[in-house]
Structure 1
Amino acid sequence: MNFRLIALNIRQYCPELSIPVIKERINIRYKQILSVEDWEFLYDSTTVNLIGITTQSTGVSVAVTNGQTGVTGTATTFSTDAITGYNFRIETEAQPYVVGSVTSDTALNLERPYGGSTAWNNDFSYYKTIYSPGVGNVAKISSIVYQQQLPEVSERFLNKLDPERSSTGTPTYWRNFSKTNADGIVSFEIWPILDDDYVVTVYYKKYVANLIEDTDTPVFRPEVLEAGALWDCFRIAFATTRNTAYIGLARDAQIDFRNLLRELVIEDLAQSSLPTSVRDVSSIDVFNDNFLLSHDVETL
């Protein structure tokens, strides 16, 4: 059952209400149902390809000019590697630059002017630490797995561990780089800089947009949404017309909605795993991130 049919069905019982008003109530109830439980059907996973660091090899170098954003390469493959947005480090400088654009295999522009000394035949490296899942419906990342579940850490933790992000190795930690976004796009940072290409599995909670087009369908059983929206519309119809018949209809619709919602919860629980988190009420202070990395604990 799609958005249009749900609205038309409700209109049959509440002819005093316009279709736009009914559709608005459907979406309000839609968001309420989605937020009332941590639904298992909203969780999914995808794989993300992580790209290892590229360093100079024999006969490959770059030239940079103080105060300029342009970088000229010799025997480089900037365009082929599609490195726009990558971190670009000259020699062993502490802080990398970000590649703003790539114009060819041997030319690129940094996002900000180069602050070092003008030089030719420089060694260099470029790498990527920020990634996004290749799907556009991510509300939040719940976990990332490479061989085992990687610990999620804070930016402060990584800044203390490796402030210059100079270490290399296999995927070890991750952090949310951008939190929940309304557009369903989130990104994460992987530490350390990767010494090779890897594939990780990203587990996430789906972002669900409002129903907009007539052909849009809810992500759960539509009769649950219809019953909840019908209950809302009966109450609106009573407030508009003062017809007491709507009071009884609203009461019946409320019972139907709660029964259907309970069935939906039971169905969802049948698909879920047992919870792995615990709540610590022992009043023991957490002094550092090591405890949080080793325990899945919510403290009060």
Structure 2
Amino acid sequence: MESIVEINNLKKSFGEIDAVDNISLEVSKGELFGLVGPDGAGKTTTIRILCGLLNYDSGSAKVFGKEISTNRKEIQNQIGYLSQKFSLYGDLTIDENIEFFAKIHGVKKYEQRRNELLEFTRLLPFRDRLAEHLSGGMKQKLALACSLIHYPKILFLDEPTTGVDPISRRDFWKILANMLKEKITVFMTTSYMDEAERCNNIALMNKGKIISTGAPEEVKASINKSIVELVCSDVRTAYSIIKKNSTLEVQLFGDRINVMFNNYADEYKIIDELLRNNKIEVLSRKLVPPSLENVFFHLITQ
């Protein structure tokens, strides 16, 4: 597959903080790529570098095979960018906002494209509504339409569904799926592991470093562990007991515990005895496939 984004040994620091710490990754043309991690991982810094909005200290960052630092304007004319705080004009209508961004990008005959985007984002019935009167989800859809008005080859989305209601999130993902059919490459950042599952390829990022890359299924298989999900009579006490009295990795998710085993058949006996001795009843037990949450927490605790 042809690479549309190439990063090699990229580094960006703010004072003593290494926001992006010597990372390397590639994104193929036409794919949905997810840069996944918690707040402060370095995701936004990375995406702003790729959009030519931040200079980097060292390494290489290429889009369309061209180094960003020396081809900034040329690259920016061919990309779309939806930031966490996309600036819409509240006193302009949906139609007027899209027209404004069309003119910024030098798109003269934008009317047909605008109509296509309004249909695409299901905003057509609301085209005369002021942006300040839109819901959060509708504002995100309008911001997306503004980002697409100039036919970008790659769209950069920085946490596009943060703070958006579940129904709008679902609609947003339907729109992204249709974009991929149009062969637009999508590079997105997210802290939601369920969104990461939808990507063709992902990179898990923490504290400025890439800790795992690949297709979601490959990343999940990479830890090579058996995972048992336990529901117990006292889940928090059970979690504390296992964590304190065994060498096994244990993760708490709400009312369930995930325990990672190298050898489930032999090692579970130790856990079973430990819980029985502390009068903790196991209400249910089942082997489950690794989740991206399992992998992420496993990798950051190594």
TM-score (norm 2): 0.21
* Structure with higher helix content: 2
TM-score (norm 1): 0.21
Q: Which has the larger radius of gyration?
A: 1
